[in-house]
Amino acid sequence: MAKRKSIKKKGNREELAKEKFFKLNKKSDENDASVWFKRGMDTSDPEKKLECFKRAYKLNPEFENLLLQMAEVLFQAGKKDEAFELFDMIFAINPDSENAFLNKGAFLFEDGRDEEALELYARAVILYPENDWMWVNRGNSFSRLENYEKALECYTRALEIDPEAAETWFSKAGVLNTLDRNEEAIEAYDRGLALNKKIFEGWVGKGAALQKLERYEEALETYEKALKLNPKCADIWISKADMLQILKRDPESLKAYYKALEIEPDNFYSLLSSARILMRYSKFQDALNYADAALKCSPKSLEALKIKGDANYFLGRHRRALQAFKKILAISPKDPEIWISKGCAANYSGSFEEAIESFDMAFALGSETSSARAHRAYSLRKLGKYEDAFENYDRALTLDPENLNIWDAKGVTYSYLKEYEKALECFDKLLAIRPDDLSALNNKGTVLYDLERYEEALECFNRAFEINPNFQEAKKNRQIIARILKEKKTS
């Protein structure tokens, strides 16, 4: 923020307190510009302040301090043109007014008119080369115009004049940070913090520089110091949460994002980050809630829509997942991963033709994965197109021979065709590598049951039940086979 030099009131506090209750009893006082000026300075009401200043102005139109204070009141009231007219009047009276240069430059900065501010300061620093505020304000405008080298020169000059100005050190550090001169930035932040440890922005800036250098533990400590000074700043909680996430301390990170959301409930970044972490921990309903909240802030957020789609998919709400993926593709139609996700959701929604079209789009966009081919095979199998399904399973195995689940799916497809021996070959290939695969054990047992090889079937179901006693399908099949064998034994 650009600095404006305050106009100091004359007299001590006791005198000013008396003036606050001063009444214009004498006619001579009514015609004294300084009295009206003091009354204006003593009131906090902007309208009354301006009224007093105007009375003073009528009595003394060349009272510089009065004009500066009037400009301040008018500018803050949104009457910017009138405020700048007063500066023209001051310069007409005193072309080299130091306070007018400072205040007008600051107003131009606040109004976003940096080029004009720089033009003004170019003259000011010639007249007042030892005024550090002129250099700081000039640096602020250069910085906002992204002329960082010039800004750095200005801050460096200001610090030559006043090396004890903590905020100037922070301004210089901020520019060094932007220029990725992070070690120098940290040194500058440390110089400023040595002068004033209670400016939280200094700690935040230092944390950002440490973060760029991947010194995450130190950055975290720095953000925590900033939070002690300003615990109500959502951005600092977010920075802390980001560091914790990088350090793989997700539960703590989530708590920090929650703190940020207590302060700013509609903070899109915190909502989305929370949803992202919750997805990693398979807390799908909570993730969905945060993704929905994020979408209220940014309805076209692709990541929030993806989380919504994925969360619904894992919650078994496949049609809702399908709708979310469709919304993403309406915005970004060339994302092959989303086409694959859409295909999977369409499969489980019973829309097999739509699923095949989705997988084909993904393949056309250059993303032919083993998993996608296997899912496409599933679509074909459900449509009764078994030969095409086998071609896709074989292609999936070519793409990834380690994808053992394909052998299970291929075996199930053979069982539908009552080609039981081929089905058993598929299950055995999988079980030779992964002997505790519950699905393959159960499916093999089912095929053996269909072949009336009950003892072998029971071995499969027993093995599955032994691995996981809560596997209900194997438990049920085991009971059926045991009953059949018992009946055969008694008959």
Kindly report the CATH number assigned to the domain that includes residue 443: 1.25.40.10
pLDDT at 29: 64
On whether residue 345 sits in a domain, the answer given is no
- The SS3 of residue 130 is coil
DSSP 279-332: HHTT-HHHHHHHHHHHHHH-TT-HHHHHHHHHHHHHTT-HHHHHHHHHHHHHH-
On whether residue 464 sits in a domain, the answer given is yes
pLDDT digits (tens, 9 = 90+) for 183-240: 999 999 999 999 999 999 999 999 999 999 999 999 999 999 999 999 999 999 999 9
DSSP 331-378: H-TT-HHHHHHHHHHHHHTT-HHHHHHHHHHHHHTT---HHHHHHHHH
The 10 Å CB-count burial string (b at 16+, else e) for 246-266 is eeeebeebbebbebbbebbee
On whether residue 477 sits in a domain, the answer given is yes
Residue 55: phi, psi to the nearest 5? Answer: -65, -40
Low-confidence ranges of the chain (pLDDT < 50): 1, 3-28
Q: Where in the sequence is the domain holding 439, given as residue range(s)?
A: 430-491
On whether residue 469 sits in a domain, the answer given is yes
Cβ atoms of residues 230 and 223 within 8 Å: no
On whether residue 349 sits in a domain, the answer given is no
CB atoms within 10 A of CB 207: 27
pLDDT at 16: 40
- The SS3 of residue 431 is helix
Q: Which tokens hold the place of 180?
A: 């990725």
On whether residue 482 sits in a domain, the answer given is yes
For residue 7, give the nearest of 55, 65, 64, 61 by alpha carbon. Answer: 65
Q: Which tokens hold the place of 7?
A: 């106009």
CB atoms within 10 A of CB 16: 14
Residue 101: phi, psi to the nearest 5? Answer: -60, -45
pLDDT at 27: 46
Separation of alpha carbons 408 and 389, rounded Å: 13
Total domains, the chain = 1
pLDDT at 11: 39
Cβ atoms of residues 64 and 94 within 8 Å: yes
On whether residue 331 sits in a domain, the answer given is no
Cβ atoms of residues 485 and 454 within 8 Å: yes
On whether residue 172 sits in a domain, the answer given is no
Q: Which phi-psi region, left, alpha or beta, contains residue 385 (left: φ > 0; alpha: ψ -120 to 50)?
A: beta
